[in-house]
Amino acid sequence: MGFHVASSWQNLFFCFIGTLFGTLIGVLPGIGPTTGVAILIPITFGMNPTTAIITMAGVYYGAMYGGSTTSILLNVPGESSSVMTTLDGYQMARKGRPGPALGMAALSSFIAGTFAVLMLTLIAPVLANYAVSFGPPEYFALTFMGLTMVTSLGGDAPLKGIISAALGILVACVGIDAQSGVGRFTFDNLYLLDGVGFIGMAVGLFAVSEVLINIEEPMQRIFTETKLNIRSLFPNLQDWKDSFGALWRGSIIGFFVGVLPGAGAVIASFMAYAVEKRCSRHPELFGTGVIEGVAAPEGANNAAAGGALVPLLTLGIPGSGTTAVLMGALLIHGMRPGPLLFSAHPDFVWGLIASMYIGNVMLIIQNMPMVGLWVRLLKIPYKILMPLIIAISAVGVFATDGNIFDMWVMVFFGFLGYLMRKLDYPAAPMVLALVLGPMMEMALRQSLTLSYGSPTVFFNRPISGVLMVFALLSLFAPLLRLLWNRYKVGGKAAI
Amino acid sequence: MKKADLITGCVLLAFSGFVIWESLRMPPSATFGPGPGFLPFWMGVIVAGLAAILFLTAWSRKMDPKAPPVFPGRKALTAVGLALLGLLLYTVLMEPLGFLANTVLFVAFLMAVVQREGFKLTAAVALLTTSGLYIIFHLLLGITLPRSPFGF
């Protein structure tokens, strides 16, 4: 029934426009899916609700994919869920394989998104119970685990990864504390009251620092080998074989993390990448351009998008910024998300679910031909691309809020990012800490308030206990492994 | 890397000292739970501990004579420094000069000074980039970009 509703010509057409618009929005650094969907709300007033939702779903998916595109081609994360894609995606582009990276990003997004939609249709009500069983200790354990898993990505120097994450948490503390109204580290600066913006930090740490590194030695092109025949533009059979497991793991992790209100595409992508690295037979290759490093986070963030609809549709709780905007749009059109939505407006709900699927398909149809175009873009000599990248990044960051302060943040983190690269500190943990910090702190303080200050609350409850054990293992495993190696070999491995 | 790690360790130690001091000045909690200074204080302690570990492990490591230098040579550093300076100026001058003039100058600076390209390429890239960005951000997306006092 939903497909019948969703596949009318009008809806398909608007979905196409939506994904096109969304991709363009996503490619611009700074402006992300939430903004894109928000821009569209007034335009969709005149449409009937189903068409409006279908268009917005198209924009959302388009923007996610656009963000992945710049992550892979330019090391510019379009928004927080694309940060992990930069790690291997950009390296693949440098090695002359941007096409397969882009293709795998699109295809894994599609496959995982489809998986999420299937899961959504089959088990949404059951999941509602699972979502509600997560209280503050569980959220703390989950975010803490996400953070510790990513710090273990710090290559041969896990200590530097931990330092990076710890500094990120401190940066996240800047601003007005949500629970007490106290300004922390604001130094009487009006703009710091709002905290340090994600976009300034991410673009600075990734894109600007990348450009600065490349300026050191004049670089001819982003990648030197250029094969442009059709076959090299898409993932080959070996790529598919390598990514098969990654897709499964990414989809499952992404969906179940996305179901939790508050936890979304970002955590899902980070965790999927970390898990993939753990499960891999060649973990040391992650970060140099392995296709699983693109398939896992890309699949996870799309599956999370599907999962985020579960609390929205079953409980009326928006799970992320974008679903909150979506919920606002639903309310404007006269629908109340919640347990009654399925019975009151079934055609709409199924139309929505089908629209997500169609959005995914539309993405593939639209973007596979564009892969060739993007790859051609990379052949522009770097001396021309470089000012372009910096200018687009700077303007994009400014355009997010119309605030010059975000540009200052970008400049500062660009400089810091350059230093961090030189000194071998990974940037991903810092960015993740900025995103997860506020949620983690709130969960921590709520948990400790609930338990009157006793930290055992995290271990007494089954779910959070298990997650905390995982987290602590992730944190100390490198150290234990190191000590074990030293004991066995007597060598001097670096901490 | 050994010297770099030693220096970083000291800097981080000083920074964490500052963080701890600031967090102790924050007001105590109004409820049973932790107050605003709780997390910054403990993170400061953790960073101090990590910095100490970093410093000590670097101290006990032997200097590796074969290790490549952390920072590149003077020519490369100058280029990087100039680029950063340009970006800084771009941010400072955005409101006074307005988007159009500022971006043209910035891109021209990057092309001509940082990369030492010729006049024709510099002018072409600067003008095309600025107009392209203007079209995308202002005309297509409707975002307000700063205007100069002269109106453009």
ipTM, two decimals: 0.91
Classify residue B81: in a domain, yes or no: yes
Statement to judge: residues B46 and B78 lie in one domain: no
Average pLDDT over residues B28-38: 79
Burial code of A87-111, b = ≥16 C-beta within 10 A, e = fewer? bbbbbbbbebbbbbbbbbbbbbbbb
Which position has the token pair 């997560």? Answer: A134
Per-domain boundaries in chain A: 2-489
Cα A83 from Cα A432, distance rounded (Å): 9
Per-residue pLDDT for B59 more than 80? Answer: yes
Cα–Cα distance list, A64 to A21, A109, A206, A221 (Å): 11, 9, 18, 26
The shortest CB-CB distance from A177 to any of B5, B36, B144 is to: B36
Contact status of B31 with chain A (Cβ, < 8 Å): yes
Query: Does some domain include residue B151?
Result: no
Paired strand residues for A176: A183
Q: Would you state the pLDDT for residue A226?
A: 52
Which of B33, B77, B83 has its CB closest to that of A448?
B33
pLDDT of residue A31: 67
Last residue of some domain: B60, B94, B109? B60
CA atoms within 13 A on the CB side of A75: 30
- Asked if B33 lies within 8 A of A446 by C-beta distance, the reply is yes
Give me Rg for the CA atoms of chain B.
24
Distances (CA, A) of A311 to A124, A134, A147, A336, B94: 8, 12, 24, 13, 43
The answer to whether residue B46 scores a pLDDT higher than 90 is yes
Please answer yes or no on whether A182 and B44 come within 8 Å at the CB atom: no
Q: Identify the domain containing residue B117 by its residue range.
A: 74-140
Model's pTM, two decimal places?
A: 0.82
Q: In degrees to the nearest 10, what's the CA dihedral of B100, B102, B105, B110?
A: -110
> Which residues from A are below 8 Å from B38, CB to CB?
445
Q: Is the pLDDT of residue B76 over 80?
A: yes
Closest residue of chain A to B23, computed from CA coordinates: A184
Please choose, from the candidates A378, A89, A79, the residue with its C-alpha nearest in 3D space to the C-alpha of residue A227.
A378
Q: For the residues B121-138, what does the mean pLDDT come to?
A: 85
For residue A37, what are the contacts with CB-CB under 8 A and spacing of at least 6? A56, A59, A60, A63, A322, A325, A326, A329
Contact B22 A185 (CB under 8 A): yes
In this complex, is the C-beta atom of B44 within 8 Å of any C-beta atom belonging to chain A? yes
The pLDDT value given to residue A5:
54
Same domain, B55 and B91: no
Distance from CA of A171 to the nearest CA of B (A): 10
- Identify whether B149 is part of a domain: no
- Across B105-124, average pLDDT: 82
Interface membership of B59 toward A (CB under 8 Å): no
Smallest Cβ–Cβ distance between A184 and the set B34, B40, B91 belongs to B40
Q: What is the CA radius of gyration of chain A?
A: 22
Burial of A188 (0-12, 13-18, 19+ CB in 10 A): exposed
Rounded to whole angstroms, the Cα distance separating A109 from A92 reads: 18
Rounded Cα distance between A329 and A55, Å, is 12
- What is the distance between the alpha carbons of residues A246 and A190, in angstroms, rounded to a whole number? 45
Nearest CA among A108, A101, A83 for reference residue A296: A108
CA distances from A3 to A16, A97, A302 (A): 16, 36, 20
pLDDT at B57: 87
DSSP B62-119: PP-TTSPPSS--HHHHHHHHHHHHHHHHHHHHHHHH-HHHHHHHHHHHIIIIIS---H
Number of domains in chain B: 2
Task: Say whether A182 and B26 touch across the interface (CB within 8 A).
Answer: yes
B72 touches chain A (CB under 8 A): yes
Residues 6+ apart with CB under 8 A from A302: A61, A64, A108, A109, A110, A112, A113, A116, A254, A265, A360
Q: Angle CA(A56)–CA(A62)–CA(A64) in degrees, nearest 5?
A: 105
**Residue ranges of chain A whose pLDDT lies below 50:** 1
Asked if B43's CB is within 8 angstroms of A169's CB, the reply is yes
| Nearest CA-CA distance, residue B152 and chain A, Å | 17
Contacts of A218 in chain B (CB under 8 A): 115
B55 plus B104 within the same structural domain:
no
Out of B50, B94, B114, closest to residue A162 by CB = B50
Measured between beta carbons, the chain A residues lying within 8 angstroms of B33 are 445-446, 448-450, 453
User: Which element (helix H / strand E) includes A175?
Assistant: strand A175-176
Above 90 in pLDDT, residue B44? yes
A24, closest residue in chain B (CA to CA): B136
Q: What is the mean pLDDT of residues B34-52?
A: 91
Which of B7, B97, B121, B143 to mutate to probe the A interface, most A CBs <10 Å? B143
Same domain, B56 and B84: no
Nearest to B70 among A212, A408, A422 (CB): A422
Q: Are A97 and A375 in contact (CB under 8 A)?
A: no
What is the spatial distance between Cα A177 and Cα A184, in angstroms, rounded to a whole number?
A: 7
Residue A7 confidence (pLDDT): 60
Q: Is residue B29 part of a domain?
A: yes
List of chain B residues whose C-beta atoms are within 8 Å of the C-beta of residue A159: 50, 53-54, 57
List CB contacts of A443: < 8 A, sequence separation 6 or more: A136, A137, A139, A140, A143
Q: Do A386 and B19 touch (CB under 8 A)?
A: no
User: Cβ of A159 and B54 within 8 Å?
Assistant: yes
B110 and B83 both lie in a single domain = yes
Q: Is B13 inside any structural domain?
A: yes
Is residue B148 in a domain?
no
Interface residue B20 vs chain A (CB under 8 A)? no
Q: What is the pLDDT of residue A3?
A: 56
**Is B87 in the same domain as B133?**
yes
CB-based contact B43 A184, cutoff 8 Å: no
Nearest to A166 among B47, B84, B111 (CB): B47
- Nearest of A6, A87, A111 to residue A51 by alpha carbon: A6
Structural domain contains residue B97: yes
Q: Residue A147: its chain B contacts at CB < 8 A?
A: none
- What's the confidence (pLDDT) of residue A411? 93
Q: Does B127 lie at the interface with A, CB-CB under 8 angstroms?
A: no
Q: Do A182 and B129 touch (CB under 8 A)?
A: no
CA angle, B48 then B51 then B52, to 5°: 85
Does residue B105 form part of some domain? yes
Sequence-distant (6+) residues with CB within 8 A of A115 are A251, A255, A303, A306
Q: What angle do CA A209, A214, A220 make, to 5 degrees?
A: 150
Up-side HSE of residue A206: CA atoms within 13 Å toward CB?
A: 35
Best B87, B114, B147 member to test A by mutation, with max A CBs in 10 Å, is: B87
Q: Which of B8, B40, B79 sits opposite A215 (nearest CB)?
A: B79
